[in-house]
A and B are shown apart, each in its own frame.
Chain A
Amino acid sequence: MWENTRLVVFTAICASLYAAVLIPFKVLPIIPGVAELRPANAVPVICSFLFGPAAAWGAAIGNLIGEFFGGMGPGDVFGCTANFLYGMAPYKIWELIGGAEPPTPKTLSAWARFAFTLFLSSALCALVVGWGLNLLGFVPFAVLGNLVLFNNFVSSMLFAPLLLAVIYPRVARGRLLYHHLLPARPTKSRAVRFSGLALLTCAVVGGMIAGNLLASGYWTPSLLVAMGWETQSRAAEVGLGLVPFLLLAITGLALL
């Protein structure tokens, strides 16, 4: 991807759009100061359907720019990684379950597949950022993970279909979609890709449930109890307990 000048520029465009859309649009508060619906949360998803891997890098860099604007911390490493995956997952999932259809749903089946794609991408982002910040002991997974999932899923479901309906056909006509710009990659068999999707779905959904149980103290892996690694902030429990889910999710995404 980095060899293609257009995709390098699209990466920068995705990143700066993500940061720029944050500022002039007033947010719709859910919990004032903690959670809000923002059109910007839909930008990585929209860019993912248009520019593929460039959107993933763009989302990570855009998140970094947002942190430059609002304050930095060690948690940004997880924020950038989570946003990278949030930009990477939608186009990979849609390539498999969307068939040759554009990501502008019109039928009930297309809407269901579209919603599933956005839910899985939002949950993957929530899992990584919730895990990372609880591992550092900053915010419990049960608070942040669920908020990020809700925020990303609702924002992208509200804004992405409306914007894609207008933008996608124009970008496709200009032959600027990622599959127009990137050389065709060797495709894996459909069976492998569907196994990847199944793995990703199980890991992400299981990880979200496990993260909530671990963070709220309803579940502690017996290995941690035996080794005396229990912590009051549940940092070790969430940090170690979610590692298998994260590894499976990344493997699933790689197989897609």
Chain B
Amino acid sequence: MALFLYLDHRTFVHRRHPLVKVAALLLFFVSAFVMEHPLFILPLSASVAALILWTKSTPTLQRIRVLFLFIAIFPVLIWSVFYRNGTPFPTLPFLPITQEGALYGLGMAAKLGTFLATGALFLSTTRIEEFAYAFTLLGLPYRISFTLTLAFRLVPLFLESAVTVVQAQRCRGLDINSGPLFQRLRHYVLVLIPVFMGALRRADQMSIALEVRGFNSGRPRSSFQRAPWTGADTLAVIAVLAVTALYLSLWSAGYGRIRSL
């Protein structure tokens, strides 16, 4: 079972310095965040879609397509109700929904969809080690970035152990997903206990192994991960900064906001 979203291709985006990818992710978030009107968010969504095609990351979008469906529906529904003031729809005057509310909901759906797609692009092109390396370069303490990487690496291990326990129970005739609510809860507990206990056993062995390898020696850490900064990285940063500057200037000039119709 493929757990994470990283896709091993050697495209231009994959080869960028981890810091460039983290900066681009944050700057794209800022650009989408400052806009409310869906028409102003769409060019950004289109750019992310183009990058996804370029980096061959479409399988990632396939995997999270259900989330896009929810994002397309729920913000519109929720904000149509909660965004109270504005112009009612002439054909639906009996509903407490306004045109501005529906537009804000659409904008929010576009915004959240763009965040999700940008995040998917980042995760498809960046390995966990690169992510942790970027944060170490930004000053995150080594122990925290080590914990982050270790936690990521342990997930498939525990997932496998949970699936094994579920299968073992199934072999004994126990279907954890059937029966009334409280019976199902009891079944979950029966599966979770061995997973927890196995994890604790592993933790003890792992901490001994780390100590033996001098984890707590207090000496300066070196890193196997090395990423040289190239001219292409500088160009990529300039391009993303230009997009963000454009969006921020549009925002400061008052564009992209929902006004009364």
- Residues in chain A within 8 A of chain B (CB atoms): 2-3, 5-6, 8-13, 15-17, 19-21, 23-26, 28, 33-34, 39, 46, 57-58, 61-62, 64-65, 67-74, 136-140, 142-143, 158-159, 162-163, 166-167, 170-171, 174, 176, 215-217, 232-234
B112 touches A73 (CB 8 A): yes
- What separation, in Å, do the CA atoms of A68 and B60 have in the docked complex? 12
- What separation, in Å, do the CA atoms of A68 and B123 have in the docked complex? 7
Q: How many residues of B contact A (CB 8 A)?
A: 78
Q: Which residues of B contact A28 (CB under 8 A)?
A: 181, 184
Q: Which residues 130-177 in B have Cβ within 8 Å of A in the complex?
A: 141, 143-144, 146-148, 150-159, 162-163, 166, 176-177
Q: Which residues 161-200 in B have Cβ within 8 Å of A in the complex?
A: 162-163, 166, 176-177, 181, 184-186, 188-189, 191-193, 195-197, 199-200
Q: Which residues 50-85 in B have Cβ within 8 Å of A in the complex?
A: 64, 66-67, 70, 74-75, 78-79, 82-85
Distance in Å from the Cβ of A68 to the closest Cβ of chain B?
6
Known A-B contacts: A170-B197, A170-B200, A232-B84. Give 20 more (CB < 8 A): A3-B216, A8-B210, A13-B151, A16-B151, A17-B195, A21-B162, A23-B159, A68-B152, A69-B4, A72-B25, A73-B115, A138-B112, A139-B75, A140-B79, A142-B82, A162-B186, A163-B189, A171-B200, A174-B204, A234-B82
A24 touches B210 (CB 8 A): no
Q: Which residues of A contact B216 (CB under 8 A)?
A: 3, 5
Distance in Å from the Cβ of A67 to the closest Cβ of chain B?
8
Pick the residue among B100, B115, B210 that contacts A74 (CB under 8 A).
Answer: B115
- What separation, in Å, do the CA atoms of A24 and B195 have in the docked complex? 12
Pick the residue among B79, B147, B193 that contacts A11 (CB under 8 A).
Answer: B147
B44 within 8 A of A: no
Q: Which residues of B contact A67 (CB under 8 A)?
A: 119
Distance in Å from the Cβ of B162 to the closest Cβ of chain A?
5
Pick the residue among A13, A71, A170 that contacts B154 (CB under 8 A).
Answer: A13
A33 touches B86 (CB 8 A): no
B143 touches A39 (CB 8 A): no
- What separation, in Å, do the CA atoms of A71 and B29 have in the docked complex? 13
Q: Which residue of B lies closest to A26 (CB)?
A: B177
A72 touches B146 (CB 8 A): no
The answer to whether A24 and B196 touch (CB under 8 A), given A65-B152, A71-B116, A139-B78, is no
A25 touches B116 (CB 8 A): no
Q: Which residue of A lies closest to B117 (CB)?
A: A71
- What separation, in Å, do the CA atoms of A68 and B74 have in the docked complex? 21
B200 touches A16 (CB 8 A): no
Distance in Å from the Cβ of B143 to the closest Cβ of chain A?
5
B203 within 8 A of A: yes
